[in-house]
Amino acid sequence: MTESPATKPADGDVCQRVKNGLNLEKNGVLKSLHRCHEQQPKHHCQPEEEEVHAASHHDSQYNRPFLESFEETPMLVAVLTYMGYGILTIFGYLRDFLRHWKIERCHIAREKEEQRDFVPLYQDFENFYTRNLYMRIRDNWNRPICSVPGAKVDLMERTSRDYNWTFEYTGRVVLDVINLGSYNYLGFAENTGPCADSAAEITMKYGVGVASTRQEIGNLDRHEELEKLVAKFLGVESAMVFGMGFATNSMNIPALTGKGCLILSDELNHASLVLGARLSGSTIRVFKHNNMQSLEKLLRDAIVHGQPRTHRPWKKILIVVEGIYSMEGSIVRLPEVIDLKKRYRAYLYLDEAHSIGALGSRGRGVVDYFGLDPCDVDVLMGTFTKSFGAAGGYIAGKWELIEYLRSHSHSAVYATSMSPPVVEQIITSMKCIMGEDGTTIGCDRVRKLAENTVYFRRRLREMGFIIYGNEDSPVVPMMLYMPAKIGAFGREMLKRNIGVVVVGFPATPIIESRARFCISAAHTKEMLDRALSVISEVGDLLQLKYSRRRIQPSLSLPCDDIVFEDIDD
């Protein structure tokens, strides 16, 4: 599945390295081919495993090397992974058979007797997967915690006597688990310090909420202050905040586009963006992940052909991308996207949920990271859930845009306003990042996060793990592939007092299960070192060091000429 004619050894002494985003299932065969002349010329050239998105011919647009790698799945591992799923599926069918004939008890929701002849509710693949694969390793998810989810976290110990169908709490607490799973990029998830204090103070003064919408009687001075602060933080004219990040996306995109509009969406966009795009009723076309050739082709087609059948021009074309993709750890190629958007006169919607605060020298997200002008992005969206340790989302941009949204967005009209303590947490942490509190804590945290990220990624790569994504992204996905290893990795790590997030289908393609580490500024060097040594130990135990890439000092050097080919059609 992960092999294609394009990855087969090239003939002669020219070693072609295929560089594309993810595996071919997702990315098709549209890719750029980099020819490398310097690699062992006589030797029969092996399919080169490493795929690096070097900042190719657009070098000039990037102020620092844009290194993004998605090492290809080793063939043997892919085969074994499919075999593992095959075996588990067979046992799944066996168990379903037993349940059907009432030989064993069914613990999960199913149709009632009276509903027997109705359209089946629980028969699709995802239900099968939940019942027969996910339930077996369910102890790795939804672990209850009983402390602030900072750099360390306390877990409530639980056991299961019926193989994860039910859990019992033993009453013991697993103390000081190193937390590599929270989106706590800047370490603002704290229960002490200035943020917590001011939030407590505001709670005493304002209470916890007014149970009304912003348009009715829920509008507080703190909300207005926050909006001004967000606009200032991002360097745009105006901003607007919402109580929930997910709703910010899914309710505002429908306000921006409608019938006769075209949405060009990255294939790995978050569910909230997908939902928003679908609710809007516009035509949606999906381009390959972070693939600018694919985006350009769609844009060009959209402009040349217009709407289907009528061939009228599209009313609006909206490009929807994210700053950091939370499952791949990749960073959007924003300079190129902005270039395309300007050239084809499209609009750009940028979701900075993970990147705001976490990227850029000043913590202003991807725009800052690439040193671009925030006014080039038409709609800046982000959430306060990650870096700011709060909840909610914002939309920022031109004054006209925000005024329009204030009266047209469903989440502005119908949703209750943000709770004042949450607002206060955001204000305090944002001021801290901006340095307005008179300290350098914010700056230090942004720098510390960048350092931690580079260090953690480099060490993992040196150990021989397959790591996805951009060098500078604090989301670090490490490939596990095999279904049993998802469960084993989470359990073995917890046994050694490290909490990690493991991800499998449906959040990732079925064979690309992974562990996702989220680096935080709150992690000290000792914690990271301890975590790394444990990861290495577990990696040896479970044989996770799949990488066949030599550690090269420089990744972008060997490529002297670069050919972009469109082999799509």
Partner 1 sequence: MPPPPFHPACKMNFKNLLEYLAWLYYQYLLITGIYVLEPWEKSIFNSVLFSAIAMVIYTSYVFVPIHVRLALEFFSGIFGGQPESTMALMN
Ligand X SMILES: Cc1ncc(COP(=O)(O)O)c(C=O)c1O
In the complex, the smallest distance separating the C-beta of residue 163 from partner 1, rounded to whole angstroms, is 6
Query: DSSP string covering 460-509, please?
Result: HHHHT--B-EETT-SEEEEEEESHHHHHHHHHHHHHTTEE-EEE-TTTS-
Nearest residue (CB) to partner 1, 61 versus 164: 164
Q: Which of residues 64-93 bind partner 1 (CB under 8 A)?
A: 80, 83-85, 87-88, 91
Nearest residue (CB) to ligand X, 393 versus 397: 393
163 part of the interface to partner 1, by CB under 8 A? yes
Nearest residue (CB) to ligand X, 9 versus 506: 506
349 part of the interface to ligand X, by CB under 6 A? no
Cross-sheet strand order for the sheet of 168-179: 152-159, 168-179, 498-499
Residue 420 buriedness (CB in 10 A; 0-12 / 13-18 / 19+): buried
In the complex, the smallest distance separating the C-beta of residue 180 from partner 1, rounded to whole angstroms, is 21
Give 331's contacts (C-beta < 8 A, 6+ positions apart). 66, 68, 323, 324, 325, 355, 359, 366, 369, 469, 470, 472, 473
How far is it, in rounded angstroms, from Cα 515 to Cα 494?
13
The one segment of 153-161, 272-280, 482-490, 524-532 that binds partner 1 by CB under 8 A: 482-490
How far is it, in rounded angstroms, from Cα 248 to Cα 410?
9
Nearest to 354 by CA among 266, 252, 476, 241: 476
The one segment of 62-70, 242-250, 309-317, 417-425 that binds ligand X by CB under 6 A: 242-250
At 407, the amino acid letter reads S
x-or-dash string of contact with ligand X, 250-279, rule CB under 6 A: --------------------x-x-------
* Of the candidate residues 14, 146, 541, 557, the single one contacting partner 1 (CB under 8 A): 541
Q: Binds 397, which of ligand X, partner 1, none (CB < 5 to 8 A, cut-off by type)?
A: none
249 part of the interface to ligand X, by CB under 6 A? yes
In the complex, the smallest distance separating the C-beta of residue 545 from partner 1, rounded to whole angstroms, is 8
Both structure tokens of 382 = 């982000």
Number of CB atoms found within 10 A of residue 115's CB: 11
Q: Where are the alpha helices (DSSP H) in 257-320?
A: 271-280, 292-305
Strand partners, 53: 68
Q: Binds 353, which of partner 1, ligand X, none (CB < 5 to 8 A, cut-off by type)?
A: ligand X
Give 255's contacts (C-beta < 8 A, 6+ positions apart). 404, 405, 408, 409, 410
x-or-dash string of contact with ligand X, 302-341, rule CB under 6 A: --------------------x---x---------------
In the complex, the smallest distance separating the C-beta of residue 323 from ligand X, rounded to whole angstroms, is 8
189 part of the interface to ligand X, by CB under 6 A? no
In the complex, the smallest distance separating the C-beta of residue 98 from partner 1, rounded to whole angstroms, is 11
* Of the candidate residues 54, 482, 498, 501, the single one contacting partner 1 (CB under 8 A): 482
- Checking phi first, is residue 514 left (phi over 0); if not, alpha (psi -120 to 50) or beta? beta
In the complex, the smallest distance separating the C-beta of residue 343 from partner 1, rounded to whole angstroms, is 49
Both structure tokens of 316 = 């609006």
The one segment of 245-253, 430-438, 501-509, 516-524 that binds ligand X by CB under 6 A: 245-253
Both structure tokens of 52 = 């690096």
Nearest residue (CB) to partner 1, 125 versus 163: 163
In the complex, the smallest distance separating the C-beta of residue 284 from ligand X, rounded to whole angstroms, is 17
CA angle 499, 505, 507 (to 5 degrees): 75
Nearest to 480 by CA among 74, 88, 163, 185: 74
503 part of the interface to partner 1, by CB under 8 A? no
* Of the candidate residues 543, 557, 564, 565, the single one contacting partner 1 (CB under 8 A): 543
393 part of the interface to ligand X, by CB under 6 A? yes
31 part of the interface to partner 1, by CB under 8 A? no
Q: How far apart are the first and last CA of the chain?
A: 20
Q: Binds 245, which of partner 1, ligand X, none (CB < 5 to 8 A, cut-off by type)?
A: ligand X
419 part of the interface to ligand X, by CB under 6 A? no
469 part of the interface to ligand X, by CB under 6 A? no
How far is it, in rounded angstroms, from Cα 506 to Cα 454?
29
In the complex, the smallest distance separating the C-beta of residue 367 from ligand X, rounded to whole angstroms, is 16
At 470, the amino acid letter reads N
Given the rule CB under 6 A, which residues bind ligand X?
A: 244-246, 249, 270, 272, 322, 326, 351, 353-354, 383, 385, 391, 393
